[in-house]
């Protein structure tokens, strides 16, 4: 199915690794013009070698002022993927202020407003995809802060859709299960722990990066032109249990 993303300018956060990197690679392959945002310069350098022509921006999205400065001059953007996230896992009774603040700074506060403002100023339609999680709607042990940030992101997605819809800007979330990126491996590489999660997934397997990327590209494209405010599960049936 042709998604007609060629020539569109797309900003992707958390672009250095995992889902973000896979999204940049897939968008580059469609002919889209990609602005890749990561806090790790080495990841951006290797990504530029893989995908010549992408525009790298190195900034820590947890720093609001630095983000405003870094992205204030990127120019017109048509589509946005808010993918940057951290997973700082602690039992509820041991949650630290640092983990709480950092998690909300990156997972929620870093959702980019500049793109929506630019679309409205230009008077053009657009699409935004927020990368959430299956944990937004189900409790997982030691994930109290992470689950909270993703639950908040789901509601932010709906409010963004409500407020930006009149400007012809669609906003949706994708909610994947465990994906064995470097972040996923850090949490779920232990076979016993992984089995407890897999037992809750009817399809009996974790997602691949491409499963999530395909959902993101669909929601960015005009093929989903009547879809906004949704949370699209990519979780093998986890929410059905």
Known catalytic residues?
146
Q: What backbone torsions phi and psi does residue 206 show, to the nearest 5 degrees?
A: -85, 165
Are 227 and 172 within 8 A, CB to CB?
Answer: yes
* Longest CA span, the chain: 52
**Alpha carbon distances (Å) from 116 to 42, 85, 105, 123:** 29, 20, 19, 10
Q: 37: which residues sit within 8 A by CB, 6+ positions away? A: 11, 12, 13, 14, 15, 56, 57, 58, 59, 61, 70, 71, 84
């Amino acid at each position: 199915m042709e998604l007609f993303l060629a020539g569109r300018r797309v900003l992707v956060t958390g672009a250095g690794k995992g889902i973000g990197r896979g999204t940049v690679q897939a968008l580059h392959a469609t002919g889209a013009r990609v602005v890749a945002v990561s806090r790790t310069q080495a990841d951006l350098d290797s990504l530029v070698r893989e995908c010549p022509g992408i525009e790298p921006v190195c900034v820590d999205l947890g720093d609001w002022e630095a983000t405003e400065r870094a992205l204030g001059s990127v120019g017109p953007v048509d589509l946005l993927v808010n993918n940057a996230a951290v997973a700082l896992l602690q039992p509820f009774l041991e949650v630290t202020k640092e983990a709480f603040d950092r998690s909300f700074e990156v997972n929620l506060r870093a959702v980019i407003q500049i793109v929506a403002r630019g679309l409205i100023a230009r008077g053009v339609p657009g699409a935004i995809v927020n990368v959430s999680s299956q944990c937004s709607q189900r409790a997982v042990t030691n994930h109290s802060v992470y689950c909270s940030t993703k639950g908040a992101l789901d509601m932010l997605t709906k409010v963004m859709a409500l407020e930006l819809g009149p400007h012809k800007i669609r906003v949706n979330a994708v909610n994947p299960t465990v994906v064995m990126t470097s972040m996923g491996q850090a949490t779920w590489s232990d076979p016993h722990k992984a089995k407890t999660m897999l037992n809750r997934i009817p399809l009996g397997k974790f997602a691949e990066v491409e499963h999530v990327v395909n959902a993101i590209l669909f929601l960015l494209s005009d093929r989903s032109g009547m879809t906004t405010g949704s949370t699209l599960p990519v979780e093998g049936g986890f929410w059905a249990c």
